[in-house]
Amino acid sequence: MLEKRIGIIMYQTSNSKGQELVAQRMVRDFNKLGQKAYLITSTFHDGVELIPREGLLKNKGYYYIEDESLQIPVIRVDSTLAKWPPRRIVFKDFINTLNQIVSDFRLNVLITHSTLWNGPEDAAKFVTWRRDIRNIGGYQDPIVFCHMSHFQEPTSQRYSLPELTFRTAWNKFSLSKILEAANIVLVVTPLEKRAKVQMGAKPERCLLYPGGVDNELFLRFAAEDPTAFLNEHNIAPGTNIISYLGTLEERKNPLAVLKIAERPGGRGEIRYLAA
How many domains would you assign to the chain?
2
* Entry pTM: 0.84
Whether residue 211 has pLDDT greater than 70: no
Question: Would 238 be classed as within a structural domain?
Answer: yes
Same domain, 199 and 252: no
Is 147 in the same domain as 168?
A: yes
pLDDT at residue 78 greater than cutoff 70: yes
Domain match, 172 and 240 both: no
Q: Does one domain contain both 135 and 83?
A: yes
Domain assignment present for 124: yes
Residue 44 lies in a domain: yes
What pLDDT, on the 0 to 100 scale, is given for residue 273?
85
Give residue 243's domain range. 225-274
Residue 148 lies in a domain: yes
Least confident piece of the model among 32-41, 183-192, 211-220, 234-243: 211-220
Q: pLDDT digit string (tens) for 132-145?
A: 999 998 877 889 99
- 3-state helix/strand/coil string of 49-75: ECCCHHHHHCCCCEEEEEECCCCEEEE
3-state secondary structure of 230: helix
Does residue 178 sit in the same domain as residue 96?
yes
Report if residue 107 sits inside a domain. yes
201 and 233, same domain (yes or no): no
Closest alpha carbon to 123 in 150, 95, 92: 95
Is there a single domain that holds both residue 52 and residue 149? yes
Domain boundary among 193, 215, 237: 215
**The CATH number of the domain where 146 resides is what?**
3.40.50.2000
pLDDT tens digits, 93-126: 999 999 999 999 999 999 999 999 999 999 999 9
Q: Name residues whose C-beta falls within 8 Å of residue 155's C-beta, 6 or more positions apart in sequence.
A: 164
Residue that is last in its domain, among 215, 235, 263: 215
| Residue 259 covered by a domain | yes
Residue 220 lies in a domain: no
Query: Based on the domain organization, do 46 and 181 belong to the same domain?
Result: yes
On whether both 209 and 262 belong to a single domain, the answer is no
Using a pLDDT cut of 70, give the percent of the chain over it. Answer: 95
Q: Distance between CA 72 and CA 65 in Å, rounded? A: 9
Sign of CA dihedral 27, 31, 37, 40: positive
Euclidean distance between CA atoms 128 and 25, whole angstroms:
27
> What is the number of alpha carbons within 13 Å of residue 174 lying toward its C-beta?
18
pLDDT at 268: 67
Mean pLDDT of 168-175: 93
Asked if residue 232 and residue 196 are part of one domain, the reply reads no
Task: Quote the mean pLDDT of the chain.
Answer: 88
Residue 191 lies in a domain: yes
Looking at 96-105, 151-160, 172-181, which range is the least confident one?
Answer: 151-160
Over residues 39-58, the pLDDT tens digits come to: 999 999 999 998 877 777 77
- My answer on whether 257 and 150 are in the same domain is no
Same domain, 176 and 235: no
Domain boundary among the residues 166, 192, 215 is at 215
